[in-house]
Amino acid sequence: MHASGRYIPNILSAKLALDNSRDNFTLNTPALATLFFTNNQVQWINQNGGLAWADARTKQSSKIMFDWAERTSVATPFVKNPDHRSQVVATIDFEGVDANQVAAILRENGIVDTESYRKLGRNQLRVATFVASEPSDFEALTASIDYVLERI
C-alpha cells in the first residue's frame, strides 16, 4: 500500500511501524509487539463470547469493588451514582484511613496497581477492573484490603 502513493496516516502505517520497531522507536505508531498482543487479546475476548462477555465480566469485577466499598465503614465509591460509575476503573475514597498507607502495605505484600489518582489529591485507591483480570482476583483484593484495614 505504501508504494501506491496513497496517503496513510502515520498511526496506521504498517511500514512506519515496522521501520520504527526495528529502531525501538514508535513515533505515534503502535509497536509491532503492541499490535501482536492486541490481536491476541481480541481473539481471546472473541473466543470467550465477544464484547457481551467482556462487558459482563468488567461489570462483575467493578461491582465487586463498589459493593465492597459500600459495605465498608471507611470506604465509599468516588462516584456516588451507580449509573455513572466506570466499569473498568473502580475509584474508592477512604475516610479516617490513609489510602496511600493501605496501597503501600499491599505493594509490600505483592499486591500492586492500587494507587490513587494523584492529580485529584484525594485519599483514594483506583483499581483497574479490565477484562483480562479474573473477577475472583477482586474478591481476593477486597479481602486483602479488609485484612490490612483490621491491622492499621
Average pLDDT of every residue of the chain: 91
In terms of domains, do 26 and 58 share one? no
Q: Which residue has the higher pLDDT, 82 or 114?
A: 82
In terms of domains, do 28 and 86 share one? no
Q: Which among 142, 135, 68, 63 has a CA at the least distance from the CA of 102?
A: 142
CA 140, 101, 111, 130 dihedral sign is positive
> Is the per-residue pLDDT at 72 higher than 90?
yes
Stated pTM of the model:
0.77
CB 101 within 8 A of CB 152: yes
Q: Which domain holds residue 80?
A: 50-151
In terms of domains, do 79 and 123 share one? yes
In terms of domains, do 36 and 66 share one? no
> Is the per-residue pLDDT at 79 higher than 70?
yes
What pLDDT sits at residue 29? 60
What pLDDT sits at residue 6? 83
For the stretch 88-101, pLDDT in tens is 999 999 999 999 99
CB 76 within 8 A of CB 69: yes
In terms of domains, do 9 and 54 share one? no
User: What CATH number does residue 96 fall under?
Assistant: 3.90.1150.10
What pLDDT sits at residue 117? 72
Q: What is the tally of structural domains in the chain? A: 2
In terms of domains, do 35 and 58 share one? no
Provide mean pLDDT across the span 15-34.
77
In terms of domains, do 61 and 130 share one? yes
In terms of domains, do 37 and 89 share one? no
For the stretch 113-135, pLDDT in tens is 888 777 778 899 999 999 999 99
In terms of domains, do 38 and 68 share one? no
